[in-house]
Structure 1
Amino acid sequence: MNHGGEQGDTGDVALTAISLDISEYRYPGVDDARKICGREYDRFLAGHKDNPYTIFTHVSESDFVELDRAGFRRLDYNTSCRKLAITTPTAPHEEAGTRFSALLTLKAQEMGVWRLLSSRGSTTMETQERKKEPDASWGPRQRYSETNIKWPSVVLEVAFSEPEDKVKDNAWWWLYRSNRTVLKVITIDIKRESGNVYVTLWERGAAPSRQHPRPEARAVSTLNIFRGQHGNPARLEGTDIALPFKDMLLRDPDPGHGEGDFIFSQAELLEIAENVWADMGLAS
């Protein structure tokens, strides 16, 4: 499967995977950074660049805090090389993330466990080398009230017009750099040119070893949604996405109380894709 280089332990904001069509700017301060992001966003919308990133160099940790407080979103910061990638949210990106999160909320409510969940949203998580925001994240409420653990147990990453390697690397970082606290990652990978949508559930693969210090994340299940063209219906390949209850709430489900895995059916995920296509101006 090739939906997925943060290299080594440094991460480098996965810049090796997204550097083919990106100009880098020396960080100029919040106000000018906002103008630059606006220009890059306009270029992306006009089709003059193929990704939604803006990269700044020479960004200090205090600069990162200032940008975060100023309302910049989707920040991915490498502390060692002092580079910051800002992903400009787009309508298809936000549509997919918002609808998937709402669907998860509905399923938690139907099982009567919504009050037991903590919705962590895009809370920034950090390691020694990197600070990163997910598109959405969740974990058991009890974990955060009774322990010092800040990481979620489940993360959602949405990609719109992003390289496949970066999608996989983002999943890898959450799974292997969270001290084993992130148990599952869902990625929704939207391709701008074709409109195809790839939904994947990831988990850790092999444990790191001397021979294999960076093992691959493992795709547990995948649903590929190919947009129909010329009046043809969409074509689906793969399975429902079954997010284990235990990985979300860190305990076994109680079937007697209606608890079970969070099942995202092919029909539900197709509906999300159809809304994404509408935002892209594409007929389904």
Structure 2
Amino acid sequence: MEQDNMDDSSYLDFDGPFLTNLPPSIRRYTYHGEQQFSNIFESESSTNSELILFHASKETIEALFNPDQETPIAKLCSSFDTKERLFLITMPSKPHSATIRGDDRGKQPDHGWGPRRRARGEPDSPSVVLEVAYSESNSKSNSDVRFWLNPNEGNANICLTLQIHKSRPEIRIEKWERRQGRIYRSEVTYITKKGDHSNVTHHPINIPFESLLRRPSERGERDIEFSRGQLVEIAETIWETQGW
């Protein structure tokens, strides 16, 4: 079931900022070489920083993120933009998927899925992606959504964002798609907990078969649905690590 009564805040423009609109809480540095990067990385590791933003020339970024010769820095990078001359480092806590490149930008999803076998000419990128945010702002999540749903960049069909609240047992899941040439938030689900009771505001979350596999379904094939019970199970696993 889709929520069609949303206002204009449910839409994003493809041409919005990618990395320039990140919150001021993210530390910013100018890149001056691998040794300086290593010193900053080690220093920030001891402060529980989750993201670091670096400014560098277009030529430096292209060299660091050359797909034919992956550098140690590239393995730590979650996003880059040669036009904005910025690259974003995510402090490692879990493995990431491969970097997907657009014309001027690149990004790694937290998780991504797509057809195992692709027809000739189909994009070698996930059709459905998930971005998980623990302390990131809406501006960071929105820039991720723009990248993944832009046909010239991530070219995904669906982008799911899962935002974990730091100070209370609350998880917000948003489902974003392309609609009439714009990026549209088609579903919003809140999972909350009070005492021993968990509440889910909107379920199931539906992933259409054709959006995932990039082909029409055949007999016996159907959409993927995340039921209330499955969503609560995901939330409880997260809350257990948070101590709720």
TM tier, smaller? 0.7 to 0.9
Retained in 1: the 8 A contact 2:103–2:153?
no
1:170 aligns to 2:137 (yes or no): no
Structure 2 length as normaliser, TM-score?
0.81
Q: 2:101 aligns with which of 118, 121, 126?
A: 126
Retained in 2: the 8 A contact 1:3–1:164?
no
- Structure 1 stretches of 5 or more lacking a match? 46-51, 99-120, 208-214
Q: How does 1:1-284 map to 2 (within 5 A)?
A: 8=15, 11-13=17-19, 15-16=20-21, 18-44=22-48, 52-58=50-56, 60=60, 61-65=62-66, 68-70=70-72, 72-90=75-93, 94=94, 122-143=97-118, 146-147=120-121, 149-178=123-152, 181-207=155-181, 215=182, 217-228=183-194, 231-256=195-220, 259-280=221-242, 282-283=243-244
Distance across 2 between alignment mates of 1:161 and 1:3: 21
**Aligned-partner SS, 1:238:** coil
Instruction: Name the stretch that deviates more: 64-73 or 218-227.
Output: 64-73
Q: Report the structure, 1 or 2, having the larger strand content.
A: 2
Retained in 2: the 8 A contact 1:3–1:165?
no
Retained in 2: the 8 A contact 1:4–1:169?
no
Structure 1 length as normaliser, TM-score?
0.70
1:106 corresponds to which residue?
Answer: none
Q: Which amino acid aligns with 1:27?
A: Y
Distance across 1 between alignment mates of 2:113 and 2:29: 34
Retained in 1: the 8 A contact 2:77–2:87?
no
Distance across 2 between alignment mates of 1:154 and 1:205: 15
**Aligned-partner SS, 2:87:** strand
Distance 1:64 1:278, change over 3 A: same
Distance 1:192 1:34, change over 3 A: farther
Distance 1:244 1:12, change over 3 A: closer
**Aligned-partner SS, 1:55:** strand
Aligned-residue sequence identity (percent) comes to 27
Distance across 1 between alignment mates of 2:45 and 2:11: 24
**Residue by residue, what CA displacement relative to the aligned partner does 1:33-87 show, whole Å, maximum 9, x if unpaired?**
2442343343236xxxxxx210111151212349953163342111023211112
Distance across 1 between alignment mates of 2:12 and 2:25: 16
The Cα of 1:183 is off from its aligned counterpart by 1.0
Distance across 2 between alignment mates of 1:192 and 1:222: 19
- Structure 2 stretches of 5 or more lacking a match? 1-5
Distance 1:185 1:7, change over 3 A: closer
| RMSD after superposition | 3.0
The Cα of 1:134 is off from its aligned counterpart by 1.0
Q: Which amino acid aligns with 2:184?
A: R
Distance across 1 between alignment mates of 2:56 and 2:152: 26
Q: Which amino acid aligns with 1:69?
A: T
